[in-house]
Structure 1
Amino acid sequence: MYDVVIVGAGPVGLFLAAELALADCSVLVLERDPEPSSPWKTLPLGLRGLNSGSVETFHRRGLLPALLNASGVDPARVGPDPEAPGSPAPRALSHFAGIPLDAADVDPSALAFRLAGPAMEPFMTSLDAVCSVLEERAAGLGVRIERGAGLEALTQDGEGVVARAGGADHRGRWLVGCDGGRSTVRTLAGFDFTGTPPLFTGYVAQVALEDPGTLGFGFRQTPTGMYLRTPFEGHVGMMDFDGGAFDRSLPLTREHLQTVLRRVSGTEVTLTEVHRASSFTDRAMQATTYRRGRVLLAGDAAHIHSPLGGQGLNLGIGDAVNLGWKLAATVRGTAPEGLLDTYAAERHPVGAAVLDWSRAQVAAMSPGPNAPALRGLLTDLLGTREGATHVFRHTSGLSHRYDLGGEHPLVGRTAPDFRLTDGTRLGDLLHGGQGIALDFTPGRPLHDAAAPFKGPVHYVPGAVEDTLGLGALLVRPDGVVAWADGDSPDPAAFRRSATRWFGRPAASA
């Protein structure tokens, strides 16, 4: 019996598998597809964006250099601005509903607790690059990946879960569905999946154009919808506001795609060949809970929405890093009471917010007689300092604040990448997946309080280059601040927080 069986070897399943294996759990990953590579994972169809929060997560596990290399991205591209190396201001900002945004409009003074570091900026990558890096990581930690093993049946009891896949039964103490928007795990385990119906049918395709100059590059809003043309040859996307009426079980013929593209673009563009194409909708749905018994959901299995803004992959990575250490502690029997329940309590509101963000973009793109006026107003608002800063907070992955009950404004937020005077960064200290107790103050006031938690919590005393007004803080394995204090840290408050997240200390266990 495995400690955890994961269904789905996409980025979320592989990241979660590596997190669990890092904590010495035995993990089996079941994947329906027989091969890891696919044209849908490589460029251009596999093009994906990682926001700053996800880049930071890869940095915290020591995976960022490998991912940058696999993605063909210069590390200097994601580090601090060479023209302003100490500034927390972003250098890149994408769009809202196809409306381009200027990072120069973001107010750096509004980005509290953000420090310059090697993992600041978003970048474009591919599913193939992400999965190859994560699969190598998982395999190196002892994860078993079984391909060509689509899930057929699932049963559970108080002791574990049996998953039938590839004609064989696989047993685990826990099972996590990371098998995408049409999750078999979600269906078989009886999760409720609720939300809003679609307003459009979207298409992404790699085609040959007889007259490429007919279509402009970037997002193009029209009276009948929107289309997107990227710099990759023949790579186009379309949003046809048909109420999601297209029957997605039908083949995507050249004639159909050409008809839609002509209608949406308002041109007489001609497609001479369709290499690959798929359809999607903006249906926004979410599981009402992320756990039923010993079965959990993460990534698109837990929530689906329009791909606008590229939030899906980032939301799933956030699920995986939040769940991994909590489920591992539960498997080991060291988790404090209720720890695993905090996964859904923390991540469900984040997922709901992303779904609403997606819905808002669809509403802003919807055609109609009043659409130009609405988009004009939005363009003006998003061009202001407040508007651009608001979008950055929502899309960077750095603004989430879990309700952990602490008084300090940093509690519940992602930790700044503090740099010790010896050059070590907090991100480096998190490579092993432990909690980190940083003690900046002279006299090491947390030394005795942290000692009983040795193992799950790594105590690190020492000065840092910029304390941001803090004297000490406790950081969870997912990089979230569990407790923070000023120049005179309270050891008793530290102990209470450490006990809440890591269990009773060794001396009193």
Structure 2
Amino acid sequence: MDASVIVVGAGPAGLMLAGELRLAGIDVIVLDRLARRTGESRGIGFTTRTMEIFDQRGLLPRFGDIETSNHGHFGGIPLDLATLGATHRAARTVPQSVTETVLEGRARELGADIRRGREVVGVRDLGDQVEVRVRGESGERTLTSRYVVGCDGGRSGVRKATGFDFPGTEATTELFLADIRGVDLEPRMVADRVTGGMVMTAHLGGGLHRIIVSEHGAPPQRRTGPPPFTEVADAWKRLTGIDISHAEPVWVSAFGDAARQVTEYRRGRVLLAGDAAHVHLPAGGQGMNTGIQDSVNLGWKLAAVLRGAAPTALLDTYHGERHEVGRRLLLNTRAQSLIILGGEDVQPLRGVLAELAQYEEVARHLAAKASGLDIRYDVGGGHPLLGARMPHLELDEAGRETSSTALLRAGRGVLLDLTDNPHLRRRAADWADRIDVVTARAKDLPRGSALQGVGGVLLRPDGHVAWIAPGSHFDLPTALERWFGPAR
């Protein structure tokens, strides 16, 4: 084998996956058809859930000073994300180029083999291995691996070569996006519906502005490259009356509102993550963030199977958990598309939704969708935290200050013993090669916290709660075997 895993695509999802696999000691090759990173801003910012994930891997300091905010929206209806009580706020102006730089740096430090200027032109699953045909400057060659993961975007070659079904709806309209310099525009962070369409503006810093413009009735175009900036400037002037034709375009793109999702995230030894598995209107930057989260869900599972610690059935939980997340993502982005891009005929719907959003429970529900905090996996019944991501918990471990977040830095499972229970630790002893058993005392547990009275918590490497006591309808060894394989 050339590698245990070949990841196709060096975008955020592919680079995050490469880092997760290397963290678990799995050898990985990343292939990307581009000779170098584009440097384009593309997706900007992180949802609250992605901020939590980066924190649990110790990545946040690598991004430097991040501008954060509790302001969100659902289809242009403003939301206060602070009502969720999360540890982190959403990041607003981190360009994708910076995200890729950080994630590539981490993956390389951990030993990932990243090969650029390599176009994948064929993929064959042979049952016991996968062949990947690669074209580079020196011609074509074939690489082999035990698994291949397609993280190669909405036009995924891996998806097409291996026959994944990709049903959904075609784009009905075209939107323009541009990052420009040399103009002074008023911020419009939430979709601003104007006569004839919708516009948005955001300051990215350094004199750079991002604009998005959509005209009602603009049909999707079959383009082979980015649209000329004159098209964007003309549309902006028609909708706002403001002439930006003198601005310097740094990056220009066009996109549509197509919504598609593969029917399965895994076919044999080939898996898909990120935009290769789901495409939709990029409302609130959810696409890139969901792709990163796909990779965090998949990485530790694939590593456990490759090490022989867990059966291949563990990989089926990747589809079971993330396909549902993707389905709900398409549902909410299609709803937002209708609200943002619809004309006057949609105004009654906007009005009713804006009224409903005044109710705290509705506002929290929409805010959780927009931030990614509504994700909860089916790991079994019982306690309300089961399947949810572990809330940040400050801990005292024999006089050493730590936290539930810091304990996940190594990418291993964690059994948190909160009552110094030797029986609990003995029951987990046969999984000591796969999980860290930590005895600690919770500090400053908030009144009403779901962790009140909890004596033990089993965390998966992605931070989700797999078992809790008291509260689980199954015992600890059952949970350990399900997520970490048979006892040693």
When normalised by structure 2's length, the TM-score is 0.90
Q: Which residue pairs with 1:345 in the alignment?
A: 320
Q: Which residue pairs with 1:364 in the alignment?
A: 339
Q: 2:391 aligns with which of 416, 429, 432?
A: 416
1:313 aligns with 2:288: yes
Residues 194 and 62 of structure 1: is their aligned pair in 2 closer, same or farther, counting only changes over 3 Å? same
Q: Which residue pairs with 2:422 in the alignment?
A: 444
Secondary structure of the equivalent of 1:356?
Answer: helix
Contact 2:18 2:28 in 1 (8 A): yes
1:429-452: CA deviations, max 9, x gaps? Answer: 111111111111244330110111
Q: Which residue pairs with 1:161 in the alignment?
A: 130
Q: Which residue pairs with 1:301 in the alignment?
A: 276
Identity among equivalent positions (%) equals 38
Contact 2:174 2:214 in 1 (8 A): yes
Per-residue deviation, 1:27: 0.4
Per-residue deviation, 1:216: 6.4
Residues 239 and 141 of structure 1: is their aligned pair in 2 closer, same or farther, counting only changes over 3 Å? same
1:5 aligns with 2:1: no
Residue 453 of structure 2 aligns with an amino acid whose one-letter code is G
Residues 419 and 336 of structure 1: is their aligned pair in 2 closer, same or farther, counting only changes over 3 Å? farther
Per-residue deviation, 1:207: 4.2
CA distance in 2, matches of 1:254, 1:66: 33
Residues 28 and 405 of structure 1: is their aligned pair in 2 closer, same or farther, counting only changes over 3 Å? same
Residues 480 and 230 of structure 1: is their aligned pair in 2 closer, same or farther, counting only changes over 3 Å? same
Q: 1:224 aligns with which of 164, 180, 196?
A: 196
CA distance in 1, matches of 2:438, 2:115: 39
1:258-279: CA deviations, max 9, x gaps? Answer: 332234x152635135623110
Per-residue deviation, 1:251: 5.5
CA distance in 2, matches of 1:336, 1:423: 36
Per-residue deviation, 1:51: 1.2
Q: Which residue pairs with 1:142 in the alignment?
A: 111
Per-residue deviation, 1:493: 0.4
Q: Which residue pairs with 1:65 in the alignment?
A: 61
Per-residue deviation, 1:381: 2.3
Q: Which has the higher strand share?
A: 2
1:463 aligns with 2:463: no
Per-residue deviation, 1:416: 1.4
Contact 1:223 1:367 in 2 (8 A): no
Aligned length: 468
Q: 1:403 aligns with which of 359, 362, 378?
A: 378
1:99 aligns with 2:58: no
Secondary structure of the equivalent of 1:94?
Answer: strand
Contact 2:43 2:288 in 1 (8 A): no
Contact 1:208 1:274 in 2 (8 A): yes
Contact 1:205 1:274 in 2 (8 A): no
Q: Which residue pairs with 1:81 in the alignment?
A: none
Residues 207 and 459 of structure 1: is their aligned pair in 2 closer, same or farther, counting only changes over 3 Å? closer
Residues 284 and 411 of structure 1: is their aligned pair in 2 closer, same or farther, counting only changes over 3 Å? same
Per-residue deviation, 1:144: 0.4
Q: 1:478 aligns with which of 453, 462, 474?
A: 462
Residue 149 of structure 1 aligns with an amino acid whose one-letter code is R
1:189-220: CA deviations, max 9, x gaps? Answer: 1111011222321111134678x56x763332
CA distance in 2, matches of 1:309, 1:250: 24
Contact 2:31 2:119 in 1 (8 A): yes
Per-residue deviation, 1:468: 2.7
Q: 1:386 aligns with which of 357, 361, 375?
A: 361
Q: Which residue pairs with 1:190 in the alignment?
A: 163
Q: RMSD across aligned C-alpha pairs, in angstroms?
A: 2.3
Contact 2:187 2:203 in 1 (8 A): no
CA distance in 2, matches of 1:133, 1:444: 41
Per-residue deviation, 1:15: 0.8
Q: Which shows bigger deviation, 417-426 or 372-381?
A: 372-381
Contact 1:244 1:281 in 2 (8 A): no
Residues 247 and 241 of structure 1: is their aligned pair in 2 closer, same or farther, counting only changes over 3 Å? farther
Q: Which residue pairs with 2:143 in the alignment?
A: 170
1:18 aligns with 2:11: no
CA distance in 2, matches of 1:293, 1:306: 29
Q: Which residue pairs with 1:122 in the alignment?
A: 90
CA distance in 1, matches of 2:18, 2:469: 34
Residues 250 and 9 of structure 1: is their aligned pair in 2 closer, same or farther, counting only changes over 3 Å? closer
Write out aligned runs for 1:203-352 (5 A). Answer: 203-207=176-180, 217-218=188-189, 219-232=191-204, 233-242=208-217, 244-249=219-224, 252-263=227-238, 265-267=239-241, 269-272=243-246, 275=249, 276-336=251-311, 338-352=313-327
CA distance in 1, matches of 2:58, 2:316: 28
Residues 131 and 369 of structure 1: is their aligned pair in 2 closer, same or farther, counting only changes over 3 Å? closer
Contact 1:201 1:241 in 2 (8 A): no
Residues 437 and 379 of structure 1: is their aligned pair in 2 closer, same or farther, counting only changes over 3 Å? same
Residue 476 of structure 2 aligns with an amino acid whose one-letter code is F
1:62-109: CA deviations, max 9, x gaps? Answer: 212112x1xx327xx6xxxxxxxxxxxxx60311222322346x365x
Residue 410 of structure 1 aligns with an amino acid whose one-letter code is L
When normalised by structure 1's length, the TM-score is 0.86
CA distance in 1, matches of 2:460, 2:98: 27
CA distance in 2, matches of 1:27, 1:251: 33
Q: Which residue pairs with 2:448 in the alignment?
A: none
Residues 298 and 337 of structure 1: is their aligned pair in 2 closer, same or farther, counting only changes over 3 Å? closer
Gaps of 5+ in 1: 78-90, 109-113
Contact 1:199 1:241 in 2 (8 A): no
Per-residue deviation, 1:6: 0.3
CA distance in 2, matches of 1:407, 1:234: 48
CA distance in 2, matches of 1:107, 1:281: 31
Per-residue deviation, 1:134: 1.3
Residues 368 and 55 of structure 1: is their aligned pair in 2 closer, same or farther, counting only changes over 3 Å? closer
CA distance in 1, matches of 2:402, 2:81: 29
Secondary structure of the equivalent of 2:328?
Answer: helix
1:327-386: CA deviations, max 9, x gaps? Answer: 111111211351010000000000010111100111112333333333233223223322
CA distance in 2, matches of 1:251, 1:129: 21
